């Protein structure tokens, strides 16, 4: 039996103040609400793995992808005022990546299947909008601007019938990339 999914664990340490000061909270899995551990969070250190952090509890709101490194004052880097409220560990994935993107909600309209990164959906597929998707294999990041810029959304395997219902009303997704195991 293969245990590649468990061989490397992620570890992130959150600090109340900038420059890794104040109380800290160590996390090695998902955390839906950090307010019970820290009243605020202004810096963090990713010791291993990759994480998505969110500025609202329950993995909602703005998202930011973090790989191994030190973030002494990410508030100014991200432009967030409220700090990190929840985080999700991204499991390591080895093997193929596969995702179907759809022009309309509930898997309607044009459909394209991706197995690699796409830096500009409009150029590659002539798709004006992407409103739902089905992730079959791997973990992905979608970005609101071409070339992996702007706000992002983390997608793990599963069906996403409506980005609007997920709280992304009025946002367009223009590029997407695979989360590879290089951050471990």
Question: Which of 90, 124, 154 marks a domain boundary?
Answer: 90
Quick one: 63 and 109 in the same domain?
Answer: no
How many residues are recorded in the chain? 184
Asked whether the whole model's pTM tops 0.75, one would answer yes
Structural domain total, the chain: 2
Nearby residues of 68 by Cβ (< 8 Å), 6 or more positions away: 46, 47, 48, 49, 50, 183, 184
- Could you read off the pLDDT of 157-177 as tens digits, one per residue? 999 999 999 888 888 899 999
| CATH number, domain containing residue 112 | 2.60.20.10
Find residue 149's DSSP bridge partners: 145
Question: Which of 46, 65, 90 marks a domain boundary?
Answer: 90
From CA 152, how far away is CA 145, in angstroms rounded?
9
Quick one: 82 and 108 in the same domain?
Answer: no
From CA 9, how far away is CA 29, in angstroms rounded?
8
Give residue 17's domain range.
4-90
Average the pLDDT over each of 3-12, 141-150, 164-173 and give the range with the smallest value. 3-12
Quick one: 132 and 168 in the same domain?
Answer: yes
Question: Which of 43, 62, 90 marks a domain boundary?
Answer: 90
- Residue pair 141/133 in contact (Cβ under 8 Å)? The answer is no
- Could you read off the pLDDT of 86-127 as tens digits, one per residue? 999 998 888 999 999 999 999 999 999 999 999 999 999 988
- Residue pair 50/10 in contact (Cβ under 8 Å)? The answer is yes
Mapped onto helix, strand or coil, the DSSP state of residue 149 is strand
Quick one: 76 and 119 in the same domain?
Answer: no
Q: In which band, very low, low, confident or very high, does the pLDDT at 4 lie, cut at 50, 70 and 90?
A: very low
Quick one: 121 and 168 in the same domain?
Answer: yes
């Amino acid at each position: 039996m293969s245990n590649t999914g468990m061989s490397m664990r992620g570890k992130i340490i959150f600090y109340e103040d900038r420059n890794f000061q104040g109380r800290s909270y160590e996390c090695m899995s998902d955390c839906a609400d950090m307010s019970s551990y820290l009243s605020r969070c202004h810096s963090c250190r990713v010791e291993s793995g990759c994480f998505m952090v969110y500025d609202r509890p329950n993995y909602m709101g703005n998202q930011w992808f973090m790989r191994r490194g030190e973030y002494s004052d990410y508030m100014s880097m991200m432009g967030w005022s409220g700090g990190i409220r929840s985080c999700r560990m991204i499991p390591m994935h080895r093997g193929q990546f596969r995702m179907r993107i759809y022009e309309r909600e509930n898997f309607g309209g044009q459909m394209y299947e991706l197995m690699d990164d796409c830096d500009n959906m409009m150029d590659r597929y002539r798709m004006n909008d992407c409103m739902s998707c089905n992730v079959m294999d791997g973990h992905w990041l979608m970005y609101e601007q071409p070339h992996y810029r702007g706000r992002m959304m983390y997608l793990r395997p599963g069906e996403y019938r409506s980005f609007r219902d997920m709280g992304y009303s009025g946002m367009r997704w223009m590029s997407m990339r695979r989360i590879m195991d290089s951050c471990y």
